[in-house]
Amino acid sequence: MKGAGSSLVGAIDVGTSKVCTLIGRKKGPTIEILGLGLSSSRGIKKGKIVDISQVAEAVRESFALAVDIAKVVPENIYVGISGDYVTSMNLESEIFLGKNGREITSKDVARAVEGSRSKIDLTARKVIHIFPQEYLLDDETSVVDPVGMVASKLKVGVHLVVAQENQFQSFVKVFRQAGLEITQAIFQPLASSLAVLTPMEKEMGTALVDIGGGTTDLTLFYGGSVRYSKVIPVGGEHLTSDLAIGMRTYRDEAERVKLSYGCAFSSHIQDDELIEVRDLGSSSLKTIERKYICKIIEARIREIFFLLGREIKSSGFFSFLRGGMVITGGSALLESIADFASSFLKLPARIGYPDSKNYVGMVQSISNPIFSTACGLLQFAFSGKSERKDMVPLFLGLEEKGSKVINWLKDFFMMG
């Protein structure tokens, strides 16, 4: 597949609560952010597409806003894919190179990695990525890159990410209905990791937690590779729903209260602090204790981190997470959430922001955890081959002719 090179790239992150589009191009060692578009997401529940037309309209709105600011139309479109229809697993595959052994070629490595597909039933499932974790020569020597070494047997451990075929096809249809062709789809946690994790954190062992609107993505890194990933169908939208019910108010009011007054630790809030909230069914305001609001939030946050802790422990990598936990996504902005995570899971935790030194242009606008996936998609698009040696992304069955925007959009902005 043709890489992005020095071309213009559109990065689109479709979530349960928002659609974010960034348009960027390579500028020296950095990426120049030319345009940004945000729209409210519609037609998605818990990361699953339930109304293709509504999602396509939200994608079109976000993309058009970004193009209107950038005044250019990107040639390539990179998109993030996630949701509880995306699953993953660790597999092993091996090939024999002859009794006396021989030098290993890049084709041998590719054959060993691809052999992992035969280990599982892929009926009604679409392979998104195969991430090599480690290579083993003759069952003894573990190496990072086996090309050029001599062995009689090559074994590889991989992390395989797959999606339900029907949901994947709906995902592709969304973009085509929006007038866009996907260049490549990337697992959202992978994209986020490129924006917020350092190579050292990936090497020493770190849990990346991306709390979106409908889902929470967990990805564990160790030794520079993906070791475990899981999509949990609970996210920031559940906090909003809980507040709307608990305060007897409208969802948009509950969202405002969450963003303005929410806190993951209710014990941090003074007993006498009061806020005004619109009452359900009327235009009048009522007074509610902020501590009560934060107790509602804390209960749901506790559930999310309980589920995360259970997944981390079942993965077998808890003791390897010397880099602790990095929390990103929209709900990472919730007051004291890193403190809660650290206290609850007994791991050091921090909030993950896109690193501003990697970007120029609209840097202040993207210095927010909600842009982690979109920034990571740009990082992926412009990363060199050497930077991708720990991942084998797969082109997702789309025609290999690059991404393009349909003519009506170019005509609409009079740039064609």
Q: Give the chain's domain count.
A: 1
Averaged pLDDT of the chain? 88
Q: pTM for the complete prediction?
A: 0.87
* 6 band by pLDDT with thresholds 50, 70 and 90: low
pLDDT recorded at residue 46:
72
Has residue 392 got a pLDDT over 70?
no
* Residue 193 resides in a domain: no
**What's the domain range around 132?**
88-161
Is 131 contained in some domain?
yes
Q: CA 276 → CA 15, 117, 288, 297, distances in Å?
A: 30, 56, 6, 17
Is 150 inside any structural domain?
yes
Query: How much is the pLDDT for 404?
Result: 47
First vs last Cα of the chain: how many Å apart? 25
- Using the predicted structure, report yes or no on whether residue 1 has a pLDDT greater than 50: no
Q: pLDDT band for 186, please (50, 70, 90 cuts).
A: very high
- Full DSSP string of 139-190: TTEEES--TT-EESEEEEEEEEEEEEHHHHHHHHHHHHHTTB--SEEEEHHH
CA atoms within 13 Å, Cβ hemisphere of 91: 21
Neighbours of 123 (CB within 10 A): 6
pLDDT, tens only, 352-363 = 999 889 999 999
- What's the confidence (pLDDT) of residue 318? 95
What average pLDDT does range 178-206 have in this prediction? 94
Domain assignment present for 37: no
Q: How many CA atoms lie within 13 A of 179 on its CB side?
A: 18
Six token digits for residue 383: 């990363």
Q: Give tens-digit pLDDT for 261-320.
A: 999 999 999 999 999 999 988 878 999 999 999 999 999 999 999 999 999 999 999 999
pLDDT, tens digit, 9 for 90 and up, residues 79-119: 999 888 898 899 999 999 998 899 999 999 999 999 988 88
**Residue 215 carries which DSSP code?**
-
CATH number at residue 128: 3.30.1490.110
* Beta carbons of 27 and 353 less than 8 angstroms apart: no
Residue 96 lies in a domain: yes
- Quickly state the pLDDT bin for 45 (edges 50, 70, 90): confident
| Mean pLDDT, residues 151-176 | 93
How confident is the model at residue 384, as a pLDDT? 61
Task: Encode pLDDT of 57-78 as tens digits.
Answer: 999 999 999 999 999 999 899 9
Pairing state between β 285-289 and 225-232: unpaired
Helix, strand, or coil here: 210?
strand
Report d(CA 39, CA 19) in Å as an integer: 5
In a domain, 118, yes or no: yes
Domain for residue 123, yes or no?
Answer: yes
Residue 244's pLDDT band, with cuts at 50, 70 and 90, is: very high
389 pLDDT more than 70 = no
Confidence of residue 344 (pLDDT cuts 50, 70, 90): very high
Domain for residue 122, yes or no? yes
Count Cβ atoms within 10 A of the Cβ of residue 189 and give its class: 0-12 exposed, 13-18 middle, 19 or more buried.
buried
